[in-house]
Amino acid sequence: MQVIRTNRELQGLADAERGAGRRLALVPTMGALHAGHLALVEAARRRADRVWVSIFVNPTQFNDPCDLDGYPRTWDADVAACSAAGVDAIFAPAAAEMYPDGAETTVEVGSLALPLCGVARPGHFQGVATIVAKLLLAAKPHVAAFGEKDFQQLAVIRRMVRDLGFDVEILGVPTVREPDGLALSSRNLRLDPEARRQARVLSRGLDAARLAVAAGERDAARLLRLATDEIAKAPLAAIDYAELRDPTTLAPAPATLGGAALLALAVFFGPAAGAARHPDTVRLIDNCVLRPTPHPLEVDPR
């Protein structure tokens, strides 16, 4: 398994592999790899001859310096996990490689980047779109895999790829969860034991709304209340947002659901959950798509 540090080296390898007729897959990550990332690798492997993982904690998508400083970095464990998963190469550039001195070009996606995390984290999706564009240009993959837990991020990337004409398939992979329902996230490593226990209310809130829809509930306000009531049972939780949105456009869902709706949650956990910049506060996101009419191919991953 190769470890590549520069754009030029990765582009050269991509040209050679493409010239040999091989399909390439990229799994962009910020490290602190877990089973969710490895599910992306597995899904990518089914669509490509070579799978590459990028590991780069992207500074431009953090609007909170405490969040950037506290983001877990587990290089040795990440390399071991990639090796065990059969990854062919890791792209691990320095910040100066991706953002050379004087760099001022960015990529900004329009309406999809405005609600939800766009409100809570100004500039976040500009940073995401910019770094993903750079990674796609460096790796030249045929397919790139992203997790559906970051639903808005996936939507933004798909729109960017479509609008700018990137020749790449964007593959969405279902959320991987712990046995108790908590969505796997690198940020989970920062939860203390009690906050980790209470974080289960995220998936319980989603489940409450999903079960209500299955029982015939269509009122958006009541569905949101079911989710937030579950979260309110956790003393260490403070809701950043809980919203119902159109899963394609991310426009607000109607008052009475007539079709699929994204239930998106973002919640702070910790002893100072109301203070977003407190170093012990951890912000987690989760989501599910509520379907008043069951989707024939939908299977709950749990």
Neighbours of 231 (CB within 10 A): 20
Q: Looking at 37, 124, 142, 278, which residue is catalytic?
A: 37
pLDDT of residue 278: 64
Residues 168 and 214 in one domain: no
- Looking at the structure, do residues 225 and 153 belong to the same domain, yes or no? no
Do 192 and 228 contact (CB within 8 A), yes or no?
Answer: no
Q: How many structural domains does the chain have? A: 2
Residue 181 lies in a domain: no
Taking CA atoms, 229 is separated from 1, 188, 257, 269, in Å, by 48, 22, 20, 16
Residues 12 and 43 in one domain: yes
Question: Do 52 and 121 share a domain, yes or no?
Answer: yes
CATH of the domain at 264: 3.30.1300.10
Shared domain check, 136 and 204 = no
Angle, CA 149 vertex, CA 95 and CA 212 arms, to 5°: 160
Determine the pLDDT at residue 294: 59
Contact 41, 85 (CB under 8 A): yes
Beta bridge partners of 52: 26, 89
Provide the 10 A C-beta neighbour count for residue 138.
Answer: 24
- For 42, 49, 216, 259, the CA distances from 45, given in Å and listed in that order, are 5, 7, 39, 33
Query: Does the annotation count 37 as an active-site position?
Result: yes
Measure the CA–CA gap between 95 and 75, rounded to whole angstroms: 15
- Could you read off the pLDDT tens digit of each residue along the chain, which spans 302 residues? 999 999 999 999 999 999 999 999 999 999 999 999 999 999 999 999 999 999 999 999 998 888 899 899 999 999 999 999 999 999 999 999 999 999 999 999 999 999 999 998 999 999 999 999 999 999 999 999 999 999 999 999 999 999 999 999 999 999 999 999 999 999 999 999 999 999 999 999 999 999 999 999 999 999 999 999 999 999 999 999 999 999 999 999 999 999 999 999 999 998 765 555 566 799 999 999 999 975 555 445 44
The torsion angles phi and psi of 285, rounded to 5 degrees, stand at -120, 155
Note whether 60 and 136 are same-domain residues.
yes
Check if the beta carbon of residue 52 is closer than 8 Å to that of residue 24. yes
Question: What pTM, to 2 d.p., does this model score?
Answer: 0.93
Q: How many CA atoms lie within 13 A of 130 on its CB side?
A: 18
- The CATH number of residue 25's host domain is 3.40.50.620
Instruction: Return the residue matching tokens 């089914």.
Output: 46
**Local structure of 176: helix, strand or coil:** coil
User: Which has the closest alpha carbon to 79: 47, 136, 37?
Assistant: 37
Residue 100 has a pLDDT of 97
Residue 302 pLDDT: 46
User: In the prediction, which pLDDT does 120 show?
Assistant: 87
In which region does residue 218 sit, left (phi positive, over 0), alpha (psi from -120 to 50) or beta (all else)? alpha
Which ranges of 199-260 does DSSP label H, i.e. alpha helix?
A: 201-214, 220-231
Q: Measure the CA–CA gap between 38 and 51, rounded to whole angstroms.
A: 11
Q: Is 23 helix (H, G, I), strand (E, B) or coil?
A: coil
Nearest Cα residue to 80 out of 31, 146, 7 = 31
Expressed as residue numbers, the domain containing 157 is 2-173
Pair of tokens at residue 226: 């079911």
108 domain residue, yes or no = yes
CA atoms within 13 A of residue 79's CA, in its CB half-sphere = 8
Treating both helix axes as pointing N-terminal to C-terminal, what angle do 35-45 and 75-84 enclose, rounded to 10 degrees? 40
pLDDT value of residue 301 = 46
Instruction: Give a yes or no: residue 178 inside a domain.
Output: no
